[in-house]
Chain A
Amino acid sequence: MEDQELESGIVKKFIYVNRKAPHGTIYAHEALEVVLIAAAFEQDVSLAFIDDGVYQLKKGQNTDGIATKNFTKTFGALEMYDVEKLYVEKESLEERGLSEDDLSVDVEVLASSDLKKLFNESEVFFNF
């Protein structure tokens, strides 16, 4: 789409905070669509996964039984879009009995207090 290229010369720190489970509602799926489009704008992009949002990165998801698109495979392609800063909240993983080994992509696990710093340093905050 022609309106998706923008040479503003401005680079801001964008953070996309994913808080919801991957299935059950469309928030996570449509959030990832925003991130993919945003990649064309050459901004400084970070993704954070907190609360049930950590389930979005869980390995081996299969949506055949609920007849929805398994968009979670796309997380593996984010690197090709130069989206490489993925942060997962340590406490959210632990509360759900998950560890970094359960995740499908390389992430940096951060304690809640460090994530808070990252949020504070961000300039554009999108919350899904």
Chain B
Amino acid sequence: MKFGVLINEGPYQHQASDTAYKFIEAAIEEGHEIFRVFFYHDGVNNGTRLATPPQDDRHIPNRWTELAEKHDLDLVLCVAAAQRRGMVDEDEMKRNSKDANNIAGKFRISGLGQLIEAGIQADRMITFGD
């Protein structure tokens, strides 16, 4: 089965991102396909490369990057949600004249259309969040 995944909550504050990560690992293990992982609301904060959690804790953004590298996942941060919350890639940095960017490897920023496309193309759309 082809899954689309929507993550609506930020890292550490909420379990949604952890549960989605585990779901995706298990789904791939079972031979399913992940069409896209879309991060919305505070979920966009999962894509920061500037997080420094304590060493004895999981590193949520790095873990996403590693999973995406391993399985060629498409990790998309919503551009409107990202702009509000200061999540910036190279293009957004230039476009909005910012002095830095902070997006982690394998994440990309794009429009909400990517979420709707996932809804259309995937067999099941799964939401993680409140």
Contact = CB atoms under 8 A, between A and B. Distances in A.
B113 A124 contact: no
Contacts of A3: 110-111, 113-114, 117
B100 interface: no
Contacts of B8: 27, 128
Interface stretch (A30-38, A59-67, A80-88, A93-101): A30-38
A26 B41 contact: yes
B interface majority secondary structure:
helix
B111 A1 contact: yes
A14 B120 CA distance: 9
Interface string A7-32: 01010101000000000001100100
B111 A41 contact: no
B120 A40 contact: no
Q: Which of B40, B112, B125 has the most CB of A within 10 A?
A: B112
Given A30-B40, A37-B116, A4 B111 contact: yes
B29 to A, nearest CB: 25
A43 interface: yes
A108 interface: no
B125 A41 contact: no
A80 to B, nearest CB: 18
A21 to B, nearest CB: 13
Interface SS of chain A: helix, strand, loop or mixed?
A: mixed
Interface in B100-130: 110-117, 119-121, 125, 127, 130
A8 B120 contact: yes
B27 interface: no
Contacts of A4: 111-113, 116
A53 to B, nearest CB: 13
Given A26-B41, A30-B81, A37-B111, A124 B125 contact: yes
Interface of B: 6, 8, 40-41, 79-81, 110-117, 119-121, 125, 127, 130
Interface of A: 1, 3-6, 8, 10, 12, 14, 26-27, 30, 33-34, 37-38, 40-41, 43, 124-128
What 6 pairs across the A-B complex have the smallest Cβ distances? A4-B113, A124-B119, A37-B112, A1-B111, A38-B116, A3-B113
